[in-house]
Amino acid sequence: MHVPDRVIVVEVGPRDGLQNETAMVSVDDKVTFIALLSAAGCPVIEAGAFVSPLWIPQMADTADVFARISKRTGTRYTALVPNVEGLNRAHAAGVTEVAIFAAASETFSRKNINQDIDASLAGYRDVCGRARELGIQVRAYLSTAFGCPFEGHIEPRAVAQVAGALIDMGAFEVAVSDTIGIAHPGQVPAVVTAVAERVPVEKLALHFHDTRGTALANVLAALDLGVTTFDASAGGLGGCPYAPGATGNLATEDLLYMLDGLGVETGIELNAVLAATRFMSARVGHAPASRYVAAMHAAGASTRPDDRRSSS
- The verdict on 279 binding a copy of itself (CB under 8 A) reads no
The footprint of a copy of itself on this chain (CB under 8 A) covers a number of residues equal to 78
Query: Per CB under 8 A, does 241 bind a copy of itself?
Result: yes
- The string over 249-258, giving b where at least 16 C-beta atoms fall within 10 Å of a residue's C-beta and e elsewhere, is bbbbbbbbbb
Q: Which residues contact 55 (CB under 8 A, 6 or more apart)?
A: none
44 and 37 in contact (C-beta within 8 Å)?
no
Tell me: does residue 50 bind a copy of itself (CB under 8 A): no
Q: Contact with a copy of itself (CB under 8 A): which of 118, 213, 282, 286?
A: 213
CA angle 129, 135, 137 (to 5 degrees): 80
Residue 312 in contact with a copy of itself, rule: CB under 8 A: yes
Residue 257 found at the interface with a copy of itself (CB under 8 A): yes
Is residue 263 within the footprint of a copy of itself (CB under 8 A)?
A: yes
Contact set for a copy of itself, span 156-195 (CB under 8 A): 175, 177, 179-181, 184-187, 189
For the annotated catalytic residues, the residue numbers are 240
Terminal-to-terminal C-alpha distance of the chain: 28
AA identity, residue 20: N
Residue 242 touching a copy of itself (CB under 8 A): yes
User: Closest approach of Cβ 243 to a copy of itself, in Å?
Assistant: 4
5: which residues sit within 8 A by CB, 6+ positions away?
264, 265
Give me the 217-236 binding string for a copy of itself, x by CB under 8 A, dash otherwise.
Answer: x-xxx--x------x-----
Give φ, ψ of 88 to 5 degrees.
Answer: -60, -40
**At how many degrees (to 10) do helices 117-134 and 84-92 cross?**
30
Is residue 203 a contact residue for a copy of itself (CB under 8 A)?
no
Interface mask toward a copy of itself for 67-106; x: CB under 8 A: -------------x-x------------------x-----
Q: Evaluate whether 66 touches 93 at the Cβ level (below 8 Å).
A: yes
